[in-house]
Amino acid sequence: MPIYALCDMNSFYVSAELLFRPDLVDKPCIVLSNNDGCAVARNPSAKSLGIKMGAPRFEIEEVIQEHGVITFSSNYTLYADISNRVMTTLERLAPSVFIYSIDEAFLDLSGMENLGPLERYGRSVVDTVRRDVGIPCCIGISNTKTLAKLANQGAKKYPKTGGVVDLTDPQRQRRLMAITDVGDVWGVGRRIGKRLKELGVSSALDLADANPAWIRKHFSVVLERTVRELNGIACIPFDDTPPNKKQIVVSRSFGQRITKLSDMRQAISSYMTKAAEKLRNEGMNAGVVTVFFRTNVFNQNQPQYSNSVSRTLTQPSSDTRVLISIANELLSSIWKNGYAFMKAGVMLSDFYDKSISQQGLFDIEPVDGRSTKLMATLDKINRQKKGQLTFARDGISQNWQMKRENLSPCYTTRWSDLPKVR
């Protein structure tokens, strides 16, 4: 039987911030999403004030003021570096590691049960990550990924576990499932959870005991897989990599509302630059380009306008120059003056493998080896230092850039931002 562990970092973004702010460890702290919009990470003290995950800033403004909640803008440069450190540490401690997200990783511990108690091993992982990197984490261990996730939730929820739960014992599995809401099971979610409850399946244990065929008929084969996983039958492979991306979206809210077409052109061009870079990283060409924007739907006093437009390319491309120029044509076709736009974005879809691109019958330009070379050079230069080489259309003074009022220093990635010691 395989043995998987899920290692999940506690309140990761806040933990990363507080590593360098010993003055704030006892205070309620939250990290806000892009544009300082919503709470995306909260430390336990902020959670106890009732700040919910994803709560928009304006809804919690009062609590923030009243309790002096410390707010950080998201500093993804910092989080990426700290995450990388944790993952590297895990790779040193476990035979096989599968990075699931910025703050979660699965460890394959199959066979290690013979080396000693798994709980003791889990504790040594938690202690090492805590000491070496400075980030607290929890570990759940079981025979399937779904059960490992469940064990991890238990480790997080019940302090008595000390952050480690070994859920390989079937009796223990059933006891924990009996007190777990079905909506909290990995892969179920709120919407399906609600439907399950209407049908009398309210705990994780109810779901585990449900008839797989019935689940498949009324829900999906994916949920049937979850049922089997809850019964200790591993159905999700350890390194279940998501299939090739089907689309790439780059979209942001603006720091200040955009009213001028020239500013919107800059924004769209710079998003397309990012999207095209991602596309080339995937080794793909895109066949469809989409541009969209919208005004602030929450502000009903202002005139509202949102629109999106797509075009199918005769020849799929990943050339930033081509994609920017198409995006700008699309933008012009739907632009209207007199609105204050809050958000815009671009989407690339309909991907083709670069190696199988074919020249169109009516294409004037040949499939251009020079374009590929130019883009590769561009990417290489920009990998050394982000934004070193940009397209003039991206603009130079980007005053529409997003709001990051409480951005912390990049403590670990910039010489000028090193933490100070006295």
Partner 1 sequence: MNVTLLGSVDADTLSKVAIPLYSESVPCGFPSPASGYEDTRLDLNELCIPRPSSTYMVRCDGDSMNGIGIYAGDILVVDRSIKPKHGDTVVAAVDGAFTVKTLALKPRVRLLPQNRQYAPIEFKDGSELQLFGVVTHLVRTMQR
State the residues that interact with partner 1 by CB under 8 A: 22-24, 84-86, 88-89, 92, 131-134, 384, 411-412, 418-422
Closer residue to partner 1 (CB): 22 or 366 = 22
At 90, list the tokens: 């895990």
Closer residue to partner 1 (CB): 89 or 315 = 89
Closer residue to partner 1 (CB): 362 or 415 = 415
- The answer to whether the CB of 333 falls within 8 A of the CB of 309 is yes
Angle at 188 between CA 184 and CA 190, to 5 degrees: 70
The amino acid present at 203, given as its one-letter code, is: S
Edge-first strand listing for the sheet containing 306-317: 247-258, 341-353, 284-295, 306-317
Region at 334 (left for phi over 0; alpha for psi -120 to 50; beta for the rest) = alpha
Question: What phi and psi, each to the nearest 5 degrees, are found at residue 234?
Answer: -70, 115
- The answer to whether the CB of 105 falls within 8 A of the CB of 116 is no
- Cα separation, 183 vs 135, whole angstroms: 28
The amino acid present at 177, given as its one-letter code, is: M
The least CB distance from residue 134 to partner 1, in Å, is 6
Closer residue to partner 1 (CB): 127 or 329 = 127
Q: Which residue has the tokens 């919503």?
A: 38
The least CB distance from residue 131 to partner 1, in Å, is 6
The least CB distance from residue 200 to partner 1, in Å, is 48
Closer residue to partner 1 (CB): 171 or 384 = 384
Closer residue to partner 1 (CB): 190 or 422 = 422
Q: Which residue has the tokens 């996983």?
A: 229
The least CB distance from residue 108 to partner 1, in Å, is 20
The least CB distance from residue 69 to partner 1, in Å, is 17
Q: Please choose, from the candidates 152, 150, 146, 126, the residue with its C-alpha nearest in 3D space to the C-alpha of residue 137.
A: 126
CA count, 13 A, side-chain hemisphere, 415:
0
- Cα separation, 103 vs 82, whole angstroms: 10
The least CB distance from residue 19 to partner 1, in Å, is 9
Closer residue to partner 1 (CB): 22 or 200 = 22
Q: What is residue 319's three-state secondary structure?
A: coil
- Cα separation, 323 vs 348, whole angstroms: 9
The least CB distance from residue 417 to partner 1, in Å, is 9
- CA separation (Å) from 397 to 33, 102, 163, 254? 23, 31, 47, 14
Closer residue to partner 1 (CB): 116 or 419 = 419
Number of CB atoms found within 10 A of residue 331's CB? 22
Closer residue to partner 1 (CB): 22 or 159 = 22
The least CB distance from residue 55 to partner 1, in Å, is 27
Closer residue to partner 1 (CB): 364 or 421 = 421
- Cα separation, 249 vs 274, whole angstroms: 9
- Cα separation, 206 vs 379, whole angstroms: 51
DSSP conformational letter for 37: -
- Cα separation, 110 vs 181, whole angstroms: 28
The least CB distance from residue 415 to partner 1, in Å, is 8
Closer residue to partner 1 (CB): 191 or 422 = 422
The least CB distance from residue 170 to partner 1, in Å, is 36
The least CB distance from residue 87 to partner 1, in Å, is 8
At 49, list the tokens: 């004030």
